[in-house]
Amino acid sequence: MYDLRLSLTQGSYLDQTELLNAVSSIDHADWITATEPRLILPTLVDASSAAQSVIVPGRLIGTDTGSAQTRVNDLYITGGHGLEGEPADAPVAVLEHKFAAFYELPPQGDIRLSGDRSLRYVGTGLSPEYFVVFTDEGGMMAEANFAVVFLSLQTAQTLVERPGMVNDVLFTLAADADSDTLRAELAVAVDELANVGASFMVPQDDPAYNMLYEDIAKDELFWRAMAYLFLAGAVFGAFNLATRLVEAQRREIGIQMALGVMPRWIAIRPLLVAVQIAVLGVVFGLIIGVFVGDAFGDLLQTMMPLPISLQPFQPRIFLEAAALGIALPLLATLFPVLRALRVEPVDAIRTGHLVAKGGGFAPLLARRASSRVLTWMPLRNLLCAPRRALLTLLGIAAAITLLVLIMGMLDSFAVTLDQARVELLQANPERMLVQLNFFYPENSPIIANISQSPVVSGADASLKLGGYMIHDDTTVETLLDMVDMTSTLWRPSLASGSYPGERPGVLISAIAARDLGVQPGDTITLRHPQRTGLLSYGWAESEVEVSGIHPLPLRFQTYMDFRQAEMMGLAGLVNALQVTPAPGVTQDQVQQALFDQFGVASVQPVSAVIRVFEDLIGEFVAIFSVMQVAAVILAVLIAYNSTSINIDERRRDMATMFAFGTRVRTALRVEIVEHLLTSIFGTALGCVLGFAFLVVLLTQVFDVVIPDIEMTITVQPLTLLVALVIGVLVAVLTPILNLRKLIGMDIPSTLRVME
Amino acid sequence: MENRTGIRHSIIELEQISKRYRMGDVGVAALDNVSLCVAPGEFLVVLGPSGSGKTTLLNLIGALDTASSGDICIAGQNITRMNRAQRFRYRREMVSFIFQSFNLFPGLSALDNVQFGVESAERKPNGMTAREMLERVGLDHRLHHFPHQLSGGEQQRVAIARALATGNPILLADEPTGELDFKTGIQILELLHEQSHLDKTVIIVTHNREIARVADRVVELSSGHIVRDGVPDNHKTAIADLSWEEARDETMAIVDALVLARLASAMAAGRGDCADHRARHRHLQRTHQHVPLAAAVE
Confidence of residue A522 (pLDDT cuts 50, 70, 90): very high
Q: How far apart are CA B148 and CA B104, in angstroms?
A: 10
- B3 is a domain residue: no
- Mean of the pLDDT values across residues A692-719? 82
**Alpha helix (H) residue ranges in B62-151:** 84-93, 110-120, 130-136
All residues of chain A having their beta carbon less than 8 Å from the beta carbon of residue B115 are 370-371, 373
- B7 is a domain residue: no
Closest C-alpha among A179, A259, A191 to residue A12: A191
Whether residue B256 is found in the same domain as residue B276: yes
Q: Which of A352, A359, A751 sits opposite B106 (nearest CB)?
A: A359
Contacts of A455 (CB under 8 A, 6+ apart): A581, A582, A585, A589, A590, A593, A594
pLDDT score of B236 more than 50: no
Strand, coil or helix: what is B195?
Answer: helix
Contacts of B188 (CB under 8 A, 6+ apart): B153, B156, B157, B160, B176, B177, B180
By C-alpha distance, the chain A residue nearest B167 is A660
Whether residue B191 is found in the same domain as residue B46: yes
Q: How far apart are CA A318 and CA A309, in angstroms?
A: 20
**Alpha helix (H) residue ranges in B121-180:** 130-136, 152-165
Question: pLDDT per residue over A636-683, tens digit each?
Answer: 777 677 777 777 778 888 899 999 999 888 888 888 888 888 888 888
Whether residue B254 is found in the same domain as residue B136: no
Predicted confidence at residue A496, as pLDDT, reads 92
Q: How far apart are CA A349 and CA A251, in angstroms?
A: 5
Predicted confidence at residue A498, as pLDDT, reads 92
Chain A contacts to B (CB-CB under 8 A): 351-354, 356-360, 362-363, 366-367, 370-374, 376-377, 380-385, 652-653, 655-664, 743, 747-748, 751, 755
A659 to each of A747, B89, B93, B124, how far by Cα in Å? Answer: 7, 11, 12, 19
Q: CB distance A353–B101 less than 8 Å?
A: yes
Task: Find the range with the poorest average confidence among A285-289, A433-437, B123-127.
Answer: B123-127
Count CB pairs under 8 A between chains A and B: 119
Contact, B175 vs B59, CB < 8 A? no
Q: CB distance A661–B120 less than 8 Å?
A: yes
Predicted confidence at residue B248, as pLDDT, reads 64
Measured in angstroms, the CA of A747 and the nearest CA of chain B are apart by 6
Last residue of a domain, one of B235, B261, B279: B235
pLDDT score of A275 more than 90: no
pLDDT score of A754 more than 60: no
Q: CB distance A377–B108 less than 8 Å?
A: yes
Measured in angstroms, the CA of B1 and the nearest CA of chain A are apart by 26
pLDDT score of B238 more than 70: no
Whether residue B223 is found in the same domain as residue B170: yes
Closest C-alpha among A7, A64, A36 to residue A172: A36
pLDDT score of A369 more than 60: no
Contacts of A462 (CB under 8 A, 6+ apart): A481, A482, A483, A484, A562, A574, A576, A577, A578
Q: How far apart are CA A488 and CA A494, in angstroms?
A: 15
By C-alpha distance, the chain B residue nearest A380 is B107
Closest C-alpha among A387, A406, A400 to residue A731: A400
By C-alpha distance, the chain B residue nearest A658 is B88
Question: pLDDT per residue over A257-267, tens digit each?
Answer: 877 788 888 88
Q: How far apart are CA B63 and CA B57, in angstroms?
A: 10
All residues of chain B having their beta carbon less than 8 Å from the beta carbon of residue A380 are 105, 107-108, 112
Contacts of A105 (CB under 8 A, 6+ apart): A47, A49, A54, A95, A99, A124
Q: CB distance A659–B146 less than 8 Å?
A: no
Whether residue B148 is found in the same domain as residue B291: no
Give the DSSP per-residue string, A77-142: EEEE--STTS-TT-SEEEEEHHHHHHTT--SSEEEEETTTEEEEEEEEEE-GGGSS-B-TT--BS-
Contacts of A260 (CB under 8 A, 6+ apart): none
Predicted confidence at residue A414, as pLDDT, reads 85
- Mean of the pLDDT values across residues A395-415? 84
All residues of chain B having their beta carbon less than 8 Å from the beta carbon of residue A755 are 100-101
Measured in angstroms, the CA of A376 and the nearest CA of chain B are apart by 9
- B119 is a domain residue: yes
Identify the residue among A347, A365, A370 best suited for mutation to test binding to B, counting B beta carbons within 10 A and taking the highest.
A370
Closest C-alpha among A138, A114, A141 to residue A45: A114
Predicted confidence at residue B7, as pLDDT, reads 45
Q: CB distance B100–A656 less than 8 Å?
A: no
Q: CB distance B90–A661 less than 8 Å?
A: yes
Contact, A715 vs A687, CB < 8 A? yes
The dihedrals phi and psi of A20, each to the nearest 5 degrees, come to -65, -35
Closest C-alpha among A271, A137, A147 to residue A207: A137
Cross-strand partners of A476: A469
Instruction: Say which residue, B286 or A135, is predicted with more confidence.
Output: A135
Cα dihedral A745, A748, A749, A755 in deg (nearest 10): 120
Q: How far apart are CA A405 and CA A200, in angstroms?
A: 40
Q: In this structure, what CATH number is given to the domain that contains residue B204? A: 3.40.50.300
Q: CB distance A377–B107 less than 8 Å?
A: yes
Strand, coil or helix: what is A449?
Answer: helix
Q: CB distance B97–A660 less than 8 Å?
A: yes
Closest C-alpha among A240, A326, A234, A232 to residue A286: A326
Q: CB distance B107–A363 less than 8 Å?
A: no
Whether residue B211 is found in the same domain as residue B80: yes
**Alpha helix (H) residue ranges in A312-365:** 315-341, 345-348
- B283 is a domain residue: yes
Contact, A270 vs A337, CB < 8 A? yes
Question: pLDDT per residue over A386-399, tens digit each?
Answer: 877 887 788 778 77
Predicted confidence at residue A561, as pLDDT, reads 93
All residues of chain A having their beta carbon less than 8 Å from the beta carbon of residue B96 are 660
Predicted confidence at residue B290, as pLDDT, reads 45
Identify the residue among A382, A660, A752 best suited for mutation to test binding to B, counting B beta carbons within 10 A and taking the highest.
A660
Question: pLDDT per residue over A316-360, tens digit each?
Answer: 888 888 888 888 878 877 888 887 788 777 776 665 554 555 567
Last residue of a domain, one of B210, B235, B260: B235
Confidence of residue B136 (pLDDT cuts 50, 70, 90): confident
Whether residue B56 is found in the same domain as residue B89: yes
Predicted confidence at residue A314, as pLDDT, reads 80
Measured in angstroms, the CA of B119 and the nearest CA of chain A are apart by 7
Instruction: Say which residue, B161 or A613, is predicted with more confidence.
Output: B161
pLDDT score of B219 more than 90: yes
Last residue of a domain, one of B191, B209, B235: B235
Q: Which of B65, B93, B115 sits opposite A373 (nearest CB)?
A: B115
Q: How far apart are CA A631 and CA A230, in angstroms?
A: 8
Whether residue B197 is found in the same domain as residue B173: yes
Q: Which of A351, A362, A371 sits opposite B107 (nearest CB)?
A: A362
Q: How far apart are CA A153 and CA A166, in angstroms?
A: 8
Confidence of residue B291 (pLDDT cuts 50, 70, 90): very low
All residues of chain A having their beta carbon less than 8 Å from the beta carbon of residue B85 are 663
Whether residue B130 is found in the same domain as residue B36: yes
By C-alpha distance, the chain A residue nearest B172 is A659
A322 to each of A295, A517, A633, B167, how far by Cα in Å? Answer: 20, 45, 22, 61
A88 to each of A106, A108, B219, how far by Cα in Å? Answer: 23, 18, 115
Closest C-alpha among A9, A17, A33, A26 to residue A167: A9
Predicted confidence at residue A473, as pLDDT, reads 87
Q: How far apart are CA A273 and CA A280, in angstroms?
A: 11
Closest C-alpha among A150, A142, A29 to residue A78: A150
Q: How far apart are CA A748 and CA A752, in angstroms?
A: 6
Q: CB distance B112–A748 less than 8 Å?
A: no
Give the DSSP per-residue string, A38-71: EEEEEEEEE---SS---EEEEEEEEE--S-GGG-
By C-alpha distance, the chain B residue nearest A663 is B88
- B2 is a domain residue: no
Predicted confidence at residue B246, as pLDDT, reads 60
Question: pLDDT per residue over A450-459, tens digit each?
Answer: 888 899 998 8
Instruction: Say which residue, A370 or A664, is predicted with more confidence.
Output: A664
Percent of chain A with pLDDT over 70: 92
Q: How far apart are CA B129 and CA B143, in angstroms?
A: 12
Strand, coil or helix: what is A625?
Answer: helix
Whether residue B83 is found in the same domain as residue B150: yes
pLDDT score of A138 more than 80: no
Question: pLDDT per residue over A110-128, tens digit each?
Answer: 998 877 788 899 999 998 8
All residues of chain B having their beta carbon less than 8 Å from the beta carbon of residue A377 are 105, 107-108, 116
Contacts within 8 Å (CB) and 24+ apart, A606-609: A606/A424, A606/A425, A606/A429, A606/A431, A606/A432, A606/A433, A606/A490, A606/A578, A607/A421, A607/A424, A607/A425, A607/A429, A608/A145, A609/A137, A609/A424, A609/A433
What one-character DSSP code corresponds to residue A697?
Answer: I
pLDDT score of A234 more than 80: no
Q: CB distance A354–B152 less than 8 Å?
A: yes
Predicted confidence at residue B62, as pLDDT, reads 92
Q: CB distance A747–B64 less than 8 Å?
A: yes
Q: Give one word for B76, left, alpha or beta, with left for phi > 0 and alpha for psi -120 to 50.
A: left
pLDDT score of A382 more than 60: yes
Determine the length of chain B.
298
Q: Which of A187-191, A470-474, B247-251 has the highest mean pLDDT?
A: A470-474
Measured in angstroms, the CA of B154 and the nearest CA of chain A are apart by 11
- B195 is a domain residue: yes
CA angle A268, A270, A273 (to 5 degrees): 105
The angle, 0 to 180 degrees and rounded to 10, between the axes of the packed helices A606-649 and A664-696 is 140
Q: CB distance A373–B65 less than 8 Å?
A: no
pLDDT score of B293 more than 70: no
Total domains in the fold of chain B? 2
- Mean of the pLDDT values across residues A593-621? 74
Q: Which of A353, A359, A748 sits opposite B65 (nearest CB)?
A: A748
Closest C-alpha among A562, A378, A381, A370 to residue A460: A562
All residues of chain A having their beta carbon less than 8 Å from the beta carbon of residue B91 are 658-661
A577 to each of A433, A470, A606, how far by Cα in Å? Answer: 6, 27, 12
Q: CB distance A660–B120 less than 8 Å?
A: yes
By C-alpha distance, the chain A residue nearest B159 is A656
Closest C-alpha among A348, A377, A372 to residue A362: A377
Predicted confidence at residue A348, as pLDDT, reads 67
Range of the domain at B265: 244-297
Confidence of residue B5 (pLDDT cuts 50, 70, 90): very low
Whether residue B159 is found in the same domain as residue B289: no
**Alpha helix (H) residue ranges in A304-431:** 315-341, 345-348, 373-384, 386-425
What ipTM did this prediction achieve? 0.74
Measured in angstroms, the CA of B191 and the nearest CA of chain A are apart by 19
A604-634 core/surface letters (b: 16 or more CB in 10 A; e: else): bbbbbbbbbbbbbbbbbbeebeebbeebbeb
- Mean of the pLDDT values across residues A205-233? 76
Whether residue B229 is found in the same domain as residue B249: no
Contact, A724 vs A683, CB < 8 A? yes
Q: How far apart are CA A302 and CA A98, in angstroms?
A: 9
Q: How high is the mean pLDDT of chain B?
A: 80
- Mean of the pLDDT values across residues A439-454? 89
Q: Which of B62, B115, B148 sits opposite A356 (nearest CB)?
A: B148
Q: How high is the mean pLDDT of chain A?
A: 83
pLDDT score of B232 more than 80: no
